[in-house]
A and B are shown apart, each in its own frame.
Chain A
Amino acid sequence: MDRNGPTPEETPMDAPQQPSRRRFLQGVAAAGALASGVALATGETQAGDALATLLQSHYLRMTPEEVAAALTRIERRAKREFHAAIRCGNTPPPAGVLFGYALNLSKCVGARYCVSACLKENNGDHGAQYIRVLELTQGSRNLEEADHYFTAETVPRPGKGYLPVQCQHCSDPACVQACPVQATWKEPDGIVVIDYDWCIGCRYCAVACPYWARRFNWKTPALSKEDITAETHYLGNRPRMAGVMEKCTFCLQRTRQGLLPACVEACPTGARIFGNLLDPEGPLRWVLLNRPVFRLKEELKTDPKFWYFTDI
């Protein structure tokens, strides 16, 4: 049932966002011109950058020049606010790739190395963890009885099982449908992203998410210079601001460069498998074809690209 891999409509070829990236309305062009004008007039000051960011267009509507200007503003802000030299890129989705994830519940021991690696990689505030590991009593998968804050000297604890949950990168995401201003969308490589500079902070996406995968910046994230991962992406791990939503992006700043997500690398038991669903020889397809798999809340028909499996 779940082993069919991606449905045809997920293939990157017909994804609607890409062509519109270069197409923009006249009014938007005017706003963009205004933004660059403001940037010129006010120089590279904090207030100038803030104003230019406020007037900045939607990511998919910006011209390459406007994107470049936005990226340097992001780097300047990191220097100014967190005293960190970061590089912010905007690597596009690779062609012919649809990212997916599989998690082996037989191997997960609840060590939560994934959680801390994720925080570090994604420049996250400690309060905003993208991965929530639930401790369940064996014999039940009732989420209401899960322990979200288990503490233990050693894991796994006897009689317990572990269920890590993060953004499931649904093929039909409820969050994308909910957003009133299209600040969150599904990229052609299947990753659900947020334009942090476009989000108005209404939190309706998080209300709509059945996986509790989204985190809100209730205040400016607390980041110290030592914490900061310097290699960042506009749609990924760049430092966020107060009042916007964020969530797991499958570490697109890494995975679009051919690296693995931080959580996959950090897992001590090899429970986490990441790859291209379109690759017939890939590890993901092997899992889907050879292991019993399931997805969370499949009855809600959001069609996640995140599978759970067991060894037998």
Chain B
Amino acid sequence: MRRHLTFAAALLRHSFHGGRDDLLFLTLLALGMLTGVLAYGEQAREGLAVTGMNDQVLWGLYIGNFVFLVGVAATAVVLVVPAYVFQRREMRRVVLLGECMAITAVIMSLLFVTVDLGQPLRFWHALPFLGRLNFPTSILAWDMVVLAAYLLLNIGLVYTLLLSRFEGRILPIRRYYPFLIFGIFLGLGIHTVTAFMLSGNPARPFWNTAILAPRFIASAFAAGSGLMILAFQVLHRVTPFRLSKGVVRMLALIMAFSILINLFLLCAELFHHFYRPTAHGTSARYLYFGLEGASGLRGWIWLALLLNLAAAVILTVHRLRNDLRLLNTACVMAFVGIWFEKGLGLVVPGFIPTPLGEVVEYSATAVEIQVTVGIWSFGVLLFTILARGVVAVETGRLRGGAGGAGDAGSP
């Protein structure tokens, strides 16, 4: 117990010692979180009526972000697979950082679900024994189970590995290898189940397609790899962490393949919806062209497509991809494009028209936007703390006592 406390105290101390830039950064994040807390307070008092959602459009910005972030969480897989299945050793140096990103993204996605609940205090109804989880019947229950499992697994992995390094021990790889491999399946699992949560609804033909899960994985790997390329460069600049070119090259390649697959699957969907349009394609018509004068998402989805296409070009052409500045641009474009395309651009059209043919549009209110900013600020803060801890321990700057806390101290 004592060694855990020592370790936790050292981690926290290390996270908050920064200079003036640090203070500014933390202040900004604190302001963002404060905004979110205040807005959520209003929502808790008044009910979800303060959001843009209604009986027609039942989910909006919150669930859109949830779906997107589960994808980001799943992206730890793109580091673990090359590092430990294909034995690319340089990738191993960033696996823990990727897992910190996964932990952050899962916690953020759970926060987005929580703020979407009408009765958040009743969360205990989903707990085993005490509550009455509808498992394995409800896909939402599945989602809770796999997300919780993925979160616990990643926290356990990161913590165990860091603690051993903190204490100057080297954990033999066979001790944690099975968990890494299990994590790959869980990572794919969380995003597949999230896709099934939407695609398992015959009442919503826009989502009710077998292509949704593969598309989710492809777009998640594209957006997640992009985010990692950017985040690792920031860490390279502000911490002692050294990013190798090989890691960036590998991630960019994964991103290129993923974004191309995603675009191909999108083309297949567009063909399906528009070649011989049926009532099941009405939502797609709303999204891309507007319906009965309602066209709130039209501009956004075309912008998102444009961003995705431009990113795909940069990532595909060898010379462009190898230019770091262009690559970074592509990462930003893919991240933003996919955030919209599978966030609001996927969740909202599923509700338009309603199963009874009614067209009611959705736009997020200030409260929703503020709560969203709050959760993202919290996410950035959490990742910063986790990543700094990982870098400090891995570079040997953060060590417990002389030669660790004793047991099994290895040379």
Binding site for B on A (CB under 8 A): 25, 27-28, 31, 54, 58, 61, 127-128, 132, 134, 142-146, 148, 165, 174, 177-183, 198-204, 206-212, 214-220, 242-245, 297, 300
Q: Are A146 and B357 in contact (CB under 8 A)?
A: yes
Chain B, interface SS category: loop
Instruction: Identify which of B53, B131, B203 contacts A208 (C-beta below 8 A).
Output: B203
Binding site for A on B (CB under 8 A): 46-49, 51, 53-55, 58-59, 113, 116-123, 125-126, 129-134, 137-141, 144, 197, 201-204, 279, 282, 350-351, 353-358
Q: Are A178 and B138 in contact (CB under 8 A)?
A: yes
Q: Which chain A residue shows the least CB distance to B137? A: A177
Q: Tell me which residues across on chain A come within 8 A of B129, comparing CB atoms.
A: 25, 27-28
Q: Which chain B residue shows the least CB distance to A215? A: B55
Task: Report A22 CB to chain B, min CB distance, Å.
Answer: 16
With A27-B130, A180-B141 as known contacts, state yes or no: A242 contacts B47, CB within 8 Å.
Answer: yes
Q: Are A143 and B356 in contact (CB under 8 A)?
A: yes
Q: Are B279 and A181 in contact (CB under 8 A)?
A: no
Q: Are A198 and B356 in contact (CB under 8 A)?
A: no
Q: Which chain A residue shows the least CB distance to B353? A: A144
Task: Report B131 CB to chain A, min CB distance, Å.
Answer: 6
Q: Tell me which residues across on chain B come within 8 A of A142, comparing CB atoms.
A: 279, 357
Q: Are B118 and A243 in contact (CB under 8 A)?
A: yes
Q: Tell me which residues across on chain B come within 8 A of A199, comparing CB atoms.
A: 118-119, 122
Q: Are A217 and B118 in contact (CB under 8 A)?
A: yes
Q: Which chain B residue shows the least CB distance to A27? A: B129
Bound form: Cα–Cα A199–B46 in Å = 18
Question: What 20 new A-B contacts, CB under 8 Å, besides A177-B138, A203-B118?
Answer: A25-B129, A54-B122, A178-B138, A178-B139, A179-B134, A200-B123, A203-B58, A207-B59, A207-B204, A208-B203, A209-B355, A210-B355, A214-B55, A216-B48, A217-B47, A218-B49, A242-B118, A243-B119, A244-B118, A300-B203
Q: Are B130 and A243 in contact (CB under 8 A)?
A: no
Task: Report A181 CB to chain B, min CB distance, Å.
Answer: 4
With A58-B132, A209-B355, A218-B53 as known contacts, state yes or no: A181 contacts B126, CB within 8 Å.
Answer: yes
Q: Tell me which residues across on chain A come within 8 A of B133, comparing CB atoms.
A: 180-182
Instruction: Identify which of A128, A198, A218 contacts B48 (C-beta below 8 A).
Output: A218
Q: Are B119 and A181 in contact (CB under 8 A)?
A: no
Bound form: Cα–Cα A219–B118 in Å = 9
Query: 30 A-B residue contacts at CB 8 Å?
Result: A31-B130, A54-B121, A143-B355, A146-B356, A146-B357, A146-B358, A174-B201, A178-B139, A178-B201, A179-B140, A180-B141, A181-B122, A181-B131, A181-B132, A198-B125, A198-B132, A201-B48, A202-B113, A204-B138, A204-B197, A207-B203, A210-B355, A215-B55, A216-B58, A216-B118, A217-B47, A217-B118, A218-B47, A220-B47, A300-B202
Bound form: Cα–Cα A177–B197 in Å = 12
Q: Are A201 and B356 in contact (CB under 8 A)?
A: no
Instruction: Identify which of A28, A144, A179, A218 contacts B54 (C-beta below 8 A).
Output: A218
Bound form: Cα–Cα A198–B113 in Å = 17
With A181-B131, A202-B140 as known contacts, state yes or no: A207 contacts B47, CB within 8 Å.
Answer: no
Instruction: Identify which of A179, A212, A219 contacts B47 (C-beta below 8 A).
Output: A219
With A179-B134, A218-B49, A219-B46 as known contacts, state yes or no: A200 contacts B126, CB within 8 Å.
Answer: yes
Q: Tell me which residues across on chain B come within 8 A of A58, comparing CB atoms.
A: 125, 132
Bound form: Cα–Cα A54–B134 in Å = 19
Q: Tell me which residues across on chain A come within 8 A of B139, comparing CB atoms.
A: 178
Bound form: Cα–Cα A54–B131 in Å = 12
Q: Are A182 and B132 in contact (CB under 8 A)?
A: yes
Q: Taking each of B113, B116, B122, B351, which has the highest tally of chain A beta carbons within 10 Å of its own beta carbon?
A: B122
Q: Tell me which residues across on chain A come within 8 A of B197, comparing CB atoms.
A: 204
Q: Tell me which residues across on chain A come within 8 A of B131, comparing CB atoms.
A: 181
Q: Tell me which residues across on chain B come within 8 A of A244, comparing CB atoms.
A: 118-119
Q: Are B140 and A144 in contact (CB under 8 A)?
A: no
The 8 A-B residue pairs whose C-beta atoms are closest, nearest first, are: A201-B118, A243-B118, A143-B357, A219-B47, A210-B203, A180-B140, A218-B49, A144-B357
Task: Report A119 CB to chain B, min CB distance, Å.
Answer: 15
Task: Report A285 CB to chain B, min CB distance, Å.
Answer: 28
Q: Are B125 and A134 in contact (CB under 8 A)?
A: no
Task: Report B163 CB to chain A, min CB distance, Å.
Answer: 32
Bound form: Cα–Cα A209–B54 in Å = 15
